[in-house]
Copies of this chain bind each other. A is one copy, B any other.
Amino acid sequence: MEQLINYIEEFVKLDDDAKAALHELTEMEHFSKNKYILEPGQRCNKIWFLKRGMVRKFYLNDGQEETVWIHTENQTFTSLESYAQNTPSKEYLQACEDSELICITKGNSEKLAEFPKIVAFVNAMMGREFANIDKHTKALNQRDAKGKYEYLREIAPELLKRAKLGHIASIIGVSRETVSRIRKA
């Protein structure tokens, strides 16, 4: 919990009321390795903060797993499409290590909206998310295999260290063999 507050306070300073509300309106969850946090068909009505562990977001395309992203400690994640539109998810969220999460439901998130500081945080975080998606899409869309791998190293070195090579290959859209060769070089 302290971690989540620290994370929020990178954006805005919280007063005690807001902190208390956070304590009250969030929950801890634990998922052991390989367990699913969300599966296709479920409506995603939570946002999670990853306290410890690693979580992979992927979907099936023609039976093949396509890894979208892998989150590491101190990041927030959700199945955005499902959450934002209240539709059944097409994605899996899976713990790829034993993971501890702090979650907040959509309903509780609305209750938190009465704290201006928390609203300011959400806006700032969304702004940052937008910017990241933007940057990210541009980077992965145009570079060659090496360039994409280097981009991952820049923005998510932890992911590169801990995730399986095959999952990394899938994120940047190249074959496992190519990632292996990039690493050797």
Contact = CB atoms under 8 A, between A and B. Distances in A.
Interface in A116-135: 126-128, 130-131, 133-135
| Most interface-central of A61, A87, A128, A131 (chain B CB within 10 A) | A131
Number of this chain's copies in the complex: 2
Contact of A85 (B68, B127, B141): B127
A80 interface: yes
Contacts of A81: 130-131, 134-135
A49 to B, nearest CB: 19
Nearest to A171: B141
Contact of A138 (B66, B128, B135): B66
B138 A85 contact: no
Interface residues of A, number: 23
A146 to B, nearest CB: 16
Given A84-B126, A126-B84, A137-B137, A66 B142 contact: yes
Contacts of A61: 138, 142
Contacts of A115: none
Interface of A: 59, 61, 66, 68, 80-81, 84-85, 87, 126-128, 130-131, 133-135, 137-138, 140-142, 173
Shortest 7 CB-CB contacts between residues of A and residues of B: A84-B127, A84-B130, A81-B131, A81-B134, A85-B127, A80-B130, A85-B131
